[in-house]
Structure 1
Amino acid sequence: MPINIPKQLPARGILEEENIFVMDLERAHTQDIRPLKIVIMNLMPDKERTETQLLRLLGNSPLQVSITFLHTATHKSKNVEASHLNQFYNTFDNIKDKKFDGMIITGAPIEQLPFEEVDYWEELTEIMEWSKTHVTSVLHICWGAQAALYYHYGIGKFELPKKCTGVYRHYVQNPTVELVRGFDEEFLAPHSRYTSTSLEEVEASDDLLTLSVSEHNEPFLILSKDEKHVMITGHLEYDARTLGDEYKRDTKRGLEADIPENYYPGDDPNQKPLHRWRSHAHLLFTNWLNYYVYQETPFEWD
C-alpha cells in the first residue's frame, strides 16, 4: 500500500524512481481505507533528506500510511527554505487536538548541549507529554531517543572522548520480541553522535527492555515495557551516503573529523560506501508499523 504525501513534496520524485508506491492526498481521500496516521517531528537540519529517508522506510509496508510533518515553532531552521516549511509542515498548535497512530521524533545535532539548554526543549517536552494520550506508539531516533530516555525515564547522557561515527556490529538480546522479529543475531547499523547512554542505567530501569546492544556494549534498541516508546540510539534510517557527506562537511569546516569507521571500503574516502544495513532498517520500521502501531491502535479514536 502507498504512503500518502503532498503532490509537490520533493521526496516524491526520488521515491517514485525507487519504485516506492506513493499517493497524493487528493487521491487517497477517494479511497475507502483507514490509513495509519503518522506524525514526524523532524529536528534534523537537512529536512528534505530526512524526509526521503523516513518515507522510504515507511513506504515498505502493506499498510497505507498518511504522513504529517512537524517543525519547531520556537526554533528557526537555518538549513531549509521557509517556503518548504510553510508548504509541507505544521507546528504543534496546528495538530495538538488530533490523535495519531504513530509518531517519529528524529535526531538533532545538539547532543553536546544539556537538554534544558536546547532552545526548543520546553516545546519538545510539551509534545512528548501530549504523545502519552494522543499517539499509540512513538519511535525516537538518536538524540530523540536520548531526549525520550531523559524526559520519560530520567536517564541522562554522557559525552564521549570523540565523536562516534561509523558502521558498527550490533547483537540482538531478546529475539522473541516482535520489534526484532526476523533480525539476524548480528547486524550492522550506522552511528553519528558525540554522546552515549549508559547500558547499566537502561537495564536497571523497571520500565525498559534492551533489545540490542552495540559492539561497544552500548544500548541500541530499547523498548518500553508498555510498548509505547521505541528508542534507537543510532541512525538506521541513514542512506549509504549520509555518513560520508557529514564527514566531508566537517572537514570543509576545518573540524578535526575522523573517517567514519568500517564505512568506506578499505577506509578509503575515495571509495563508494556500501549500504550494508538497508534490510534491517526496513525490517525495523515494518515491525514497528505492524506490531506496535497497526495492531495496537483503535480503528476510531475517541
Structure 2
Amino acid sequence: MPTKLTTELQFLKRFDDLSQDVALTFLYPATHRFKGTPVTELRDHYFNFHQVYDHHFDGLIITGAPVEQLPFDQVDYWREFCQIISWANHHVRETLTECWAAQASLFVDFTVPKRLLKQKLFGIFTANLSPVQDSAGGLIKMPQSRHSASVLDRHHLPGDLRILADSKEAGPMILRSPRFHHTYITGHPEYDSDTLAKEYYRDQKKRRKIAAPQHYFINEAAGQVNYDWQTAAHTIYQNWLNTIAN
C-alpha cells in the first residue's frame, strides 16, 4: 500500500461498521525497502512475519501495492510474500487479498499469470454479484486502480476457483477458493470517497499520462464524486467475516 496510514485508517473505518468486533494486527514485509519510513519506526509500530509465525489468526488481509507493472519475481519481498501465503494455509482460517496481492496470490495458488493493460483500469465499476456471495444476488460497485490483470478463462477456471462478482468492463472482481480458504478481490472496496480523486490529482501534478477515473466524478471541476460503493464495501467485508464465523 503506497500510503500506509491512510490505508490502515480506511480498513479500520470499514471494519468498525461491521457487526463483529475485530482487532487488527498490522504486519510489514521485513524484506522490503521502505523509502519514506525509517525501519526503526516500522519495528516500533508493526509486527513482521517472523514475530507472528507461531501464532494463529482468524483472518489475514493483504493489501495492494503499486508494483503491478513489475514481474512478480522482481518485487523485492516476493519470496516473503510467497512464504506468507503458504503459512496462511495452516495458521489462518480465511485469507483476503486485494488488487496486486490478489493477482500475486492467484499466481501462487493456481499459477495464474498476469498481463499489463494498455491503459490503467481506473474508476468505479459495476459487477454482477453471485448468489453464493449474497443471497439476493444483484449488483455491486467497486473502485479499481491498476495497470495489470490476471489472465483468466471464465469457462475453464483452475482448481476450485470460482468467480463471485464479474464485471463486463473490469473483469472478475471477486473470486474465491474454498480449498485455500481464500477470497481474491481485484479492486479496493475500502477506498474513501476521495481516494481516486487524490490519485488522479497526484498523477496530474507529476505530469503523468492519466485519464479521469471512470464513472466517478459528478462534477470534475468542482471535485464532486459519486460515493456509491459504500454499501457494497460493507456487504463484501461483512460476508467475509461471516465466512470466518461459520
Do these two structures clear the TM 0.5 threshold for a shared fold by scoring above it? yes
- Between the aligned partners of 1:249 and 1:202, the Cα distance in structure 2 is 39
Choose the corresponding residue for 2:7, options 50, 55, 71. 50
Identical pairs, percent:
36
Number of aligned positions between the proteins:
246
Partner residue in 2 for 1:284: 236
Letter in structure 2 aligned against 1:272: Q
In structure 2, relative to structure 1, the CA distance for the partners of 1:71 and 1:166 (3 Å cut) is same
Partner residue in 2 for 1:270: 222
The worse-fitting range, judged by mean Cα deviation, of 157-166 and 224-233 is 224-233
Q: Does the Cα contact within 8 Å between 2:125 and 2:170 map onto a contact in 1?
A: no
Partner residue in 1 for 2:108: 151
Partner residue in 1 for 2:62: 105
Over residues 167-226 of structure 1, what are the superposed CA-to-partner deviations in whole Å (9 max), with x where a residue is unaligned?
A: 111112x31x1x33455x122111000011234168421320111111226111101033
Partner residue in 2 for 1:67: 24
In structure 2, relative to structure 1, the CA distance for the partners of 1:115 and 1:138 (3 Å cut) is same
Structure number, greater radius of gyration: 1
Over residues 82-121 of structure 1, what are the superposed CA-to-partner deviations in whole Å (9 max), with x where a residue is unaligned?
A: 5652332111111101010100000000001000010100
Partner residue in 2 for 1:245: 198
Partner residue in 2 for 1:190: 143
Over residues 59-92 of structure 1, what are the superposed CA-to-partner deviations in whole Å (9 max), with x where a residue is unaligned?
A: 2223221211001111122244556523321111
Q: Does 1:207 align with 2:177?
A: no
Partner residue in 2 for 1:234: 187
Q: Does the Cα contact within 8 Å between 1:53 and 1:237 map onto a contact in 2?
A: yes
Residues 61-140 of structure 1: pairs in structure 2 closer than 5 A:
61-80=18-37, 82=39, 84-140=41-97
Post-superposition offset of 1:273? 1.1
Q: Does the Cα contact within 8 Å between 1:209 and 1:222 map onto a contact in 2?
A: yes
- Between the aligned partners of 2:36 and 2:244, the Cα distance in structure 1 is 31
Question: Where in structure 1 are there 5+ consecutive unaligned residues?
Answer: 1-43, 296-302
Partner SS for 2:25: strand
Partner residue in 1 for 2:134: 180
TM-score, structure 1 normalization: 0.77
TM-score, structure 2 normalization: 0.94
Question: Where in structure 2 are there 5+ consecutive unaligned residues?
Answer: none
Partner SS for 1:158: strand
In structure 2, relative to structure 1, the CA distance for the partners of 1:155 and 1:237 (3 Å cut) is same
Q: Does the Cα contact within 8 Å between 1:157 and 1:195 map onto a contact in 2?
A: yes
Higher relative contact order (CA 8 A, sep 6+): 2
The worse-fitting range, judged by mean Cα deviation, of 76-85 and 238-247 is 76-85
Partner residue in 1 for 2:98: 141
The worse-fitting range, judged by mean Cα deviation, of 61-70 and 110-119 is 61-70
